[in-house]
Amino acid sequence: MRLILPLFLFGMLVTSCIDNNYDLSEIDTDGVVIGDEFRLPLATVTVSMGELSKEGTDIKALFDEADIWLPSPLPAGGKYVDLQKIQHTPSYIDELLDELIEQMKRSDAKINAVADLLYDKYLGTFLPLLPPNTDPKDFKQVFITMFRATTGLQEELAGEVRDLAGGYLTDLKIEDVTYDLGRIDLGSDVVDMLADNRDSGAIFQDRTIYEDAHIFADNLHEMGLMASRDIETYMKLFRLMTTLIPKPDLLIYLKASVPTLISQIRMRGREYEMNIDELYLKRLNDKYNNWIDNIYEGDVLVVDKDHEDFVSDPTVLEKICARLDALENR
């Protein structure tokens, strides 16, 4: 069984995660989804958030409370909250808390959510701050009235909310979460590669599992969008899968400069690719070239897309086919 993998650069066939679309519940990284499932091109690991806990506390409940303490929408049109910056950058948490207080002043939904949380969990702290003899049953209405009043009490309540929210968010850490995987669903491509092939002909694939690990996941980690623990887990799964599948007999690498990639992207015309940042493309392009030159250990046929346009020039394709024949007959 011969296995040939033509590797097309992301700018031509594959688009992975773009950082400004990184939402942990919705992220689409061309086969990688993080949410209730951790979905890879090679496998799907199903983990229910409700089954995870930290020190007896449901992790979903931790993040549900965090959602209340965080302003929505986020300042400056932010798409996600960076937990590392919350813990290490005071100006970042101050910006979030300032916006939280402002939203509580103008948004009924936000102040009602905060008041409900204070009543359920922090009544003992906040009830003494309200006017004497306030009935606990009236806490929510009195709190909202006092919080929106232009009095010294409003400033005191806002200060207490800032302290409580800030402390909660900066302490929000999830270190080592251990989970026994009940099921791993292999992707269809992996199943095809693992299955015995009764046909003696060649197998062609336009993607590899190698590039996802060594280029896209590595880039996400460098950008701070994938934690060290997560990429370690990812690479363990990757190494496991690569022991179960045959290596390709040949990998065809369409090498291209960033301007050529941009031209190919525009020709393809996918709307969500039109605004890909050139620096982001360069980072991935550099990683592809480094992977081919220094990491990948199999046979590679490099096609220079900057100068070998086999789409518009049939003679170029004939030359590439001749090179393939030479490799097969060596």
Which backbone phi and psi does 4 adopt, to 5 degrees?
A: -120, 125
In this structure, the number of other CB atoms found within 10 A of the CB of residue 221 comes to 17
Query: Catalytic annotation on 212?
Result: yes
Of 6-10, 137-141, 150-154, 317-321, which gets the smallest average pLDDT? 6-10
- For residue 3, give the H/E element and its range: strand 2-7
CA distance 308 to 316: 6
Question: Is 169 buried (19+), middle (13-18) or exposed (0-12) by CB count in 10 A?
Answer: buried
Task: Return the DSSP state at 247.
Answer: P
- Listed in order, strand segments (DSSP E) in 201-273 are 202-204, 250-255
Q: Which range is most confident: 116-120, 166-170, 182-186?
A: 116-120
212, 249, 286, 306: the catalytic one is 212
- What is the structure's pLDDT at 37? 43
Residue 97 pLDDT grade (very low, low, confident, very high; cuts 50, 70, 90): very high
**Residue 58 confidence (pLDDT):** 67
Q: Which two tokens stand for residue 288?
A: 């592809």
CB atoms within 10 A of CB 262: 17
Domains of the chain with CATH codes = 2-31+187-328 (3.40.50.300), 53-170 (no CATH)
- For the segment 18-44, what is each residue's pLDDT rounded down to a tens digit? 333 333 334 344 443 334 444 444 444
Q: 310 Cβ partners below 8 Å, 6+ apart?
A: 303, 316, 317, 320
The reported pLDDT for the residue numbered 208 is 78
